[in-house]
A and B are shown apart, each in its own frame.
Chain A
């Protein structure tokens, strides 16, 4: 899959923003007034910024509102509803915290649940695709949720929980890579089934249908990223989990906190780039590629 920057930024930052909203909604940290305003601003900039970035990959962004209509069948539509619902509820809840110094627990819990649901629906957009075996597994939502919560905990300054969640997220990420590497072969889709010619011999792509490139090759067949995937996995894991965990074990200061967050975000961006760049879409098989 083509690693489009808009989608990488969208999933990374909206994941972090909604993760932070989960913690704020549950009252960790139990801040009010200006301090609450600062936390909420960070969360909204990330969540809304991420959602805005996602509209950049639309061919017709001016019609984006139509995406709210098909919540019965489409995960993308459900994501739109959850995101707006979470942002509205958390906005009301946040207004209570900032302007009235009161915490409406029910509103916060509901907002936190919808924030988590937003991350889940985002992950389901990828998980539902049978055409991309690497994504089509139960571990994908677990990975998105664990990363979002770990990043949210880190941003919320909940150090002990963040430490545990970062280790869990790192472990889930490792497991996803391990299982993901086997997914295409396990899916049973290959050039033999793609062409239906497998029972008569070994199928080889002899001539592509066109001399130039096309939408399908640009969007689905991205082989460059896989060359350095092992190195990038190591870099991602170190930045995402190892460095923040080590930093959190040091005596806490704001500089260390910011460094931990920066390292975590850089690691998640790297991992997310790989998430797309490594994913094999079965349509590549028609071109003799994967």
Chain B
């Protein structure tokens, strides 16, 4: 059914920390790796080694430069983007075949690939560019929140989280139930002021983004810019004793 559930038991999703993301793209690669070898059709590449290469990815990392007003320094922010598993997911209701659906038990938005006709309308309806039509398979691909990892009892417990979260070296991605106020991810969102992307689109995304912390500001005039400078002053300015005599003698020659 392509109608949305009135409510979901849990709201599983990601919290992405824009403050700590270093833009290494490890999440992009681990996502592509896991989702090519597991659930659903593989994520194909076209002309991978040629000049005009392209491929399907479920997670991509943009980089933005933010220039504050005045003469403050610009900030570079790496910005991973994947499906936000929206509560009011417009991609679900437009689907003519019922292939696109939102799960009642955990809120994950999935595509039943054997029902997908590849019309692309769900990708048209998604404001975030989270869906990509696979050029080889002709069906719509999207983030599954690694549904085949998070419940997989064949994996060690620490691996039962999305591949992108598991791999992130800077701990910029967190996975959990955003419907539960006491969960770690919900606390993180409350503490750091987690935000929605494009709230005006009315999609009510489950995934939240933690804004970058403000950059250190330059000290006011009159203050020493370099806090380490006092500790780094040379201790012995003039040589003493034998070295002092030698220094003076050599100077006179």
Which one of B79, B124, B197, B212 contacts A129 once the chains associate, using CB atoms below 8 Å?
B124
Can you list 10 A-B pairs, Cβ within 8 angstroms, ordered by A? Answer: A73-B93, A131-B124, A197-B211, A201-B68, A203-B66, A204-B65, A204-B66, A205-B64, A207-B62, A209-B28
Q: Could you list which residues of chain B lie within 8 angstroms of chain A, going by C-beta atoms?
A: 1-3, 18, 25, 28, 52-57, 60-69, 72, 74-77, 79, 81, 90, 93-99, 115-121, 123-129, 132-135, 137-140, 195-202, 209, 211-212, 214
Contact A73/B3 with A57-B120, A202-B66 known, Cβ cut-off 8 Å: yes
Contact A195/B64 with A57-B120, A59-B117, A70-B98 known, Cβ cut-off 8 Å: yes
CB B104 to nearest CB in A, in angstroms, measures 16
Contact A67/B64 with A73-B2, A187-B200 known, Cβ cut-off 8 Å: no
Asked if B197 and A195 sit within 8 Å, CB to CB, the answer is yes
A93 is an interface residue with CB less than 8 A from chain B: no
Asked if B117 and A131 sit within 8 Å, CB to CB, the answer is no
A125 (CB) vs chain B CBs: closest residue: B121
A178 is an interface residue with CB less than 8 A from chain B: no
B211 (CB) vs chain A CBs: closest residue: A196
A60 is an interface residue with CB less than 8 A from chain B: yes
Which one of B75, B93, B133, B214 contacts A59 once the chains associate, using CB atoms below 8 Å?
B133
Binds B, one of A74-82, A99-107, A158-166, A235-243: A74-82
Cα of A128 to Cα of B65 in the assembled complex, Å:
33
Q: Could you list which residues of chain A lie within 8 angstroms of chain B, going by C-beta atoms?
A: 1, 57-61, 63-64, 66-70, 72-77, 80, 125, 128-132, 187-189, 193-197, 200-210, 212-216, 218-220, 281-283, 286-287
CB B102 to nearest CB in A, in angstroms, measures 12
Asked if A201 and B66 sit within 8 Å, CB to CB, the answer is yes
Cα of A201 to Cα of B70 in the assembled complex, Å:
10
Asked if B198 and A201 sit within 8 Å, CB to CB, the answer is no
Asked if A60 and B201 sit within 8 Å, CB to CB, the answer is no
A79 (CB) vs chain B CBs: closest residue: B96
Contact A196/B117 with A59-B139, A70-B98, A201-B75 known, Cβ cut-off 8 Å: no
Cα of A283 to Cα of B130 in the assembled complex, Å:
9
Asked if B115 and A131 sit within 8 Å, CB to CB, the answer is no
Which residues on the A side are within 8 Å of B209 (C-beta)?
A: 196
Asked if B96 and A215 sit within 8 Å, CB to CB, the answer is no
B210 (CB) vs chain A CBs: closest residue: A196
CB B28 to nearest CB in A, in angstroms, measures 7
Contact A76/B94 with A57-B119, A220-B129 known, Cβ cut-off 8 Å: yes
12 A-B pairs besides A216-B123, A286-B62 with CB distance below 8 A are A59-B118, A77-B97, A193-B199, A200-B66, A200-B211, A200-B212, A204-B64, A207-B62, A207-B63, A213-B52, A215-B123, A215-B132
Cα of A130 to Cα of B121 in the assembled complex, Å:
12
Which residues on the B side are within 8 Å of A220 (C-beta)?
A: 124, 129
Asked if A67 and B195 sit within 8 Å, CB to CB, the answer is no
Asked if A283 and B129 sit within 8 Å, CB to CB, the answer is yes
Cα of A214 to Cα of B62 in the assembled complex, Å:
14
Which residues on the B side are within 8 Å of A69 (C-beta)?
A: 96-98
Asked if B124 and A67 sit within 8 Å, CB to CB, the answer is no
Which residues on the A side are within 8 Å of B79 (C-beta)?
A: 195
Cα of A129 to Cα of B94 in the assembled complex, Å:
9
Contact A206/B55 with A196-B211, A201-B68 known, Cβ cut-off 8 Å: no
Asked if B201 and A131 sit within 8 Å, CB to CB, the answer is yes
CB A24 to nearest CB in B, in angstroms, measures 28
Contact A60/B64 with A70-B98, A131-B90 known, Cβ cut-off 8 Å: no
Asked if B132 and A76 sit within 8 Å, CB to CB, the answer is no
Asked if B3 and A72 sit within 8 Å, CB to CB, the answer is yes
Contact A196/B197 with A213-B54, A215-B132 known, Cβ cut-off 8 Å: yes
Cα of A128 to Cα of B18 in the assembled complex, Å:
32
Asked if B200 and A214 sit within 8 Å, CB to CB, the answer is no
Cα of A128 to Cα of B97 in the assembled complex, Å:
17
Which residues on the A side are within 8 Å of B55 (C-beta)?
A: 214
